[in-house]
C-alpha cells in the first residue's frame, strides 16, 4: 500500500513500525458547535483509512481527540453563561449523533484535552529541560522555533519566510523572540478555566494538546497522522517541533492530509454565507449520501458541494442499494433455485475482478473514487445475472457477500433507505396472494388499493410479491 506523505511529497510504500500493527492519530473537532462539511471530510477519510487497514489485516489503534479547551470554547461558553465543560459535553454528544450517522466507527481511544493535562505539563517540562521554551511574563510559556534546526520540514516553509503565526494569539505584542514562536502554556485570564502548573495557573496551547495525547496513547513515534490540509501549518508543523524536541526521536512516519470542500465552486466560509453543518445538510439528504459524496472524490483533491452533486451521489448510492435489495429478495424467496447456472462463471469472475481491482485502487493512496467504480461494475454484473436468471443461488450468494464486504470497507450503508415493513402490510400482501390463488381478483384488487392508501405498492415477480414504500 502506498500513501502520499506530506513530509516527503511522494507516494511512499507503507511500512508500519511494528509488523501487523498501526498507530494512527487524526485531529478531532473543537467541540463548540455542530461540525460542518469541512470537518466531516477528514472524519470520513480517516475512518475509511482505518477500515481499509483493518481489512488488510492490520491491528489498528486509532486515536482521535476532542479539543475541549481553547479560545472558541471559552468565548462560546461565556456568551451562553455556561461552563466550558457544559458546552463540551453538549457538543461531544452532538458530535456522536453526526459521526454515527456518517457511519464512522468509534475510534479506539477518543481523549479530551482537559483529561490529559498531566501529560501536557510533563511534555512542557521536557521541552523546558531540553532548552526549547521561554516565559513571557503575564502571558505564557513559549516554544522557540529557531531552536529546532529542521522547523518547517512538513510545510516546507523556510523559517526566514515565516512572518507570523503558529499560535492562537496574534504575534504583534512584545516579548516573542521570533514571530513564529507559539504558546505551549497560557497564563490564566479573568473568566477562563485554569489548571495549576510549575509556571503558574493557566491552560494549554492548542498544539501541545495533540502532541501530549499522541505520546500518552500511542508513544513517542507513530505510524500515521491525519487531518485537513489547513492543519499542515501551523498545527502539525508545531506538533512535530514539540514532540521531537521533547522525545528526542522522529514523531510520525506518514503525514496524510485531505483537501478542502468547496461550495458551488467557492471555498466554504461563514463570510460568504455558504457554511453548512452536517446537521443542516441532513434536512435534505441522508447521512449515508453525505458519506458517499465525500468518498466519491479522491481525498487529496478538492470536492465541490452543491445540491446537484449531492443528488447525483444519492442516485449513485441508490443504484448500489437497489441492487442489494433485489439480490436479497431473490435469495430469500428461493426463486433462483430454478436458474440454469449458465452465468455462474461470469458472475464469479466479476466478483474476483471487482475485489482485485478494489484492493489495487485502495492500495494506491486510498483511491476511493475508483474503488466505488469497482463496486458499480460488480453491481452491473449482479443486475444482469438477476435479470437473466442465469446464476445459481450459490453464485448469487457469493456476489452478495462480496458486495457487503467492499461496501463495509468504505462504510457504505447498503440498507440506509430500508424501513421495516409493518406486519399489517405483510399480512395484507399475504392475503392478496391467497386471494389471487383462489382467483378472487376483486379482493386482490381491493387489497392493492388498501395498500396504496397506506403508502405501499406490491409488485408480482417470479420470486414472489415484492413490497415497496411509495
Q: Which residue is listed with cell 461563514?
A: 270
**Counting every residue, how long is the chain?**
470
SS3 192: coil
pLDDT band at 169, cuts 50/70/90?
Answer: very low
Which of 258, 291, 315 represents a domain boundary (last residue)? Answer: 258
Number of domains in the chain: 3
| Whether 393 and 454 share a structural domain | no
Statement to judge: residues 61 and 198 lie in one domain: yes
Same domain, 15 and 160: yes
Region of poorest pLDDT, from 76-85, 159-168, 247-256, 364-373: 159-168
Work out the pLDDT band at 193, boundaries 50, 70, 90: very high
Q: Which residue range is the domain that position 113 belongs to?
A: 2-258
Closest CA to 94 of 343, 278, 288, 335: 278
Q: Is the pLDDT of residue 167 over 50?
A: no
10 Å Cβ neighbour count for 31? 27
C-alpha cell at 423: 406486519
pLDDT in tens, 455-464: 888 888 766 7
In a domain, 434, yes or no: yes
The set of cell numbers assigned to 269 is 466560509
Residue 308 has pLDDT above 90, yes or no: yes
Residues 331, 384 within the same domain? yes
Average pLDDT (221-225) is 98
> Are 196 and 324 part of one and the same domain?
no
Flag whether 170 is in a domain. yes
State the pLDDT confidence band at 164, using cuts at 50, 70 and 90. very low
List the CATH number of the domain containing 374: 1.20.120
314 with 365, same domain: the answer is yes
pLDDT band at 165; cut points 50, 70, 90: very low
Residues 346 and 441 in one domain: no
Alpha-helical (H) ranges within 181-340 are 206-218, 237-247, 278-281, 287-295, 307-332
Higher-scoring residue by pLDDT: 352, 437: 352
Q: Looking at 94-199, which runs of residues are DSSP E strands?
A: 133-136, 140-143, 182-187
* pLDDT, tens digit (0-9, with 9 covering 90-100), for 321-369: 999 999 999 998 776 777 888 999 999 999 999 999 999 999 999 999 9
Residue with cell 510549575: 198
Q: What is the CATH number of the domain that holds 85?
A: 3.40.50.620
Query: 267 forms bridges with which residues in the sheet?
Result: 262
Q: Would 351 be classed as within a structural domain? A: yes
Between 99-108, 131-140, 169-178, the lowest mean confidence (pLDDT) is in: 169-178
Q: What is the longest distance spanned by two Cα atoms in the chain?
A: 93
Give yes or no for a contact between 418 and 325, defined as CB atoms under 8 angstroms apart. Answer: yes
Residues in CB range of 436: below 8 A, 6 or more apart: 444
| Crossing angle of the two packed helices 368-388 and 287-295, in degrees rounded to 10 | 120
| CA of residue 202 relative to chain centroid, distance | 33
211 and 73 share a domain?
Answer: yes
What is the C-alpha to C-alpha distance for residues 341 and 344, in angstroms, rounded to an integer?
A: 5
Write out the three cell numbers for 287: 447521512
Are 77 and 109 within one domain?
Answer: yes
Structural domain includes residue 100: yes
Phi, psi of 183 (to 5 degrees): -75, 130
323 and 177, same domain (yes or no): no
- Does residue 463 share a domain with residue 315? no
Whether residue 37 lies inside any domain: the answer is yes
416 lies in some domain: no
pLDDT at 265: 79
Is the domain of 120 the same as that of 220?
yes
| Rounded-to-integer distance, Cα 50 and Cα 349, Å | 28
Looking at the predicted structure, is the pLDDT value of residue 166 above 70? no
Q: Does the residue 418 lie in any domain? A: no
| Assigned domain for 358 exists | yes
Amino acid at each position: 500500500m502506498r500513501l502520499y506523505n506530506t513530509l516527503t511529497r511522494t507516494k511512499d510504500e507503507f511500512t508500519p513500525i511494528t509488523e501487523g500493527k498501526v498507530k494512527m492519530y487524526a485531529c478531532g473537532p473543537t467541540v463548540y458547535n455542530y461540525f460542518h462539511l469541512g470537518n466531516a471530510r477528514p472524519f470520513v477519510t480517516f475512518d475509511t483509512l482505518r477500515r481499509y487497514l483493518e481489512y488488510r489485516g492490520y491491528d489498528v489503534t486509532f486515536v482521535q481527540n476532542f479539543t475541549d479547551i481553547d479560545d472558541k470554547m471559552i468565548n462560546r461558553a461565556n456568551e451562553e453563561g455556561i461552563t466550558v465543560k457544559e458546552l463540551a459535553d453538549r457538543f461531544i454528544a452532538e458530535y456522536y449523533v453526526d459521526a454515527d450517522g456518517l457511519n464512522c466507527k468509534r475510534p479506539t481511544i477518543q481523549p479530551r484535552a482537559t483529561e490529559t493535562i498531566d501529560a501536557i505539563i510533563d511534555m512542557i517540562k521536557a521541552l523546558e529541560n531540553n532548552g526549547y521554551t521561554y516565559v513571557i511574563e503575564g502571558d505564557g510559556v513559549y516554544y522557540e522555533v529557531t531552536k529546532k534546526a529542521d522547523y518547517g520540514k512538513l510545510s516546507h516553509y523556510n523559517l526566514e519566510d515565516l512572518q507570523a503565526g503558529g499560535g492562537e494569539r496574534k504575534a504583534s505584542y512584545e516579548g516573542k523572540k521570533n514571530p513564529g514562536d507559539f504558546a505551549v502554556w497560557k497564563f490564566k485570564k479573568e473568566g477562563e478555566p485554569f489548571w495549576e502548573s510549575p509556571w503558574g495557573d493557566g491552560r494549554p496551547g492548542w498544539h501541545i494538546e495533540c502532541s501530549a495525547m499522541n505520546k500518552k496513547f500511542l508513544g513517542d513515534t507513530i505510524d500515521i497522522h491525519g487531518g485537513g490540509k489547513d492543519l499542515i501549518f501551523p498545527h502539525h508543523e508545531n506538533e512535530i517541533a514539540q514532540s521531537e524536541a521533547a522525545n528526542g526521536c522522529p514523531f510520525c512516519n506518514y503525514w496524510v492530509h485531505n483537501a478542502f470542500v468547496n461550495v458551488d465552486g467557492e471555498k466554504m466560509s461563514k463570510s460568504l454565507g455558504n457554511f453548512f453543518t452536517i446537521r443542516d445538510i441532513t434536512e435534505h439528504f441522508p447521512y449515508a449520501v453525505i458519506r458517499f459524496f465525500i468518498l466519491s472524490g479522491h481525498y487529496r483533491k478538492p470536492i465541490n458541494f452543491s445540491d446537484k452533486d449531492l443528488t447525483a451521489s444519492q442516485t449513485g448510492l441508490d443504484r448500489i442499494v437497489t441492487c442489494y435489495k433485489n439480490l436479497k429478495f431473490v435469495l430469500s424467496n428461493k426463486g433462483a433455485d430454478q436458474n440454469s447456472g449458465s452465468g455462474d462463471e461470469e458472475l464469479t469472475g466479476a466478483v474476483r475482478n471487482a475485489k482485485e481491482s478494489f484492493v489495487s485502487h485502495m492500495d494506491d493512496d486510498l483511491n476511493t473514487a475508483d474503488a466505488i467504480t469497482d463496486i458499480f461494475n460488480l453491481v452491473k454484473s449482479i443486475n444482469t445475472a438477476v435479470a437473466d436468471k442465469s446464476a445459481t443461488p450459490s453464485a448469487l450468494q457469493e456476489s452478495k457477500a462480496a458486495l457487503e464486504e467492499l461496501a463495509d470497507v468504505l462504510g457504505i450503508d447498503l440498507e440506509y433507505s430500508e424501513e421495516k415493513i409493518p406486519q399489517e402490510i405483510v399480512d395484507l400482501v399475504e392475503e392478496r396472494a391467497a386471494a389471487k390463488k383462489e382467483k378472487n381478483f376483486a379482493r386482490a384488487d381491493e387489497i392493492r388499493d388498501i395498500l396504496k392508501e397506506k403508502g405501499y405498492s406490491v409488485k408480482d415477480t417470479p420470486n414472489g410479491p415484492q413490497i415497496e414504500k411509495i
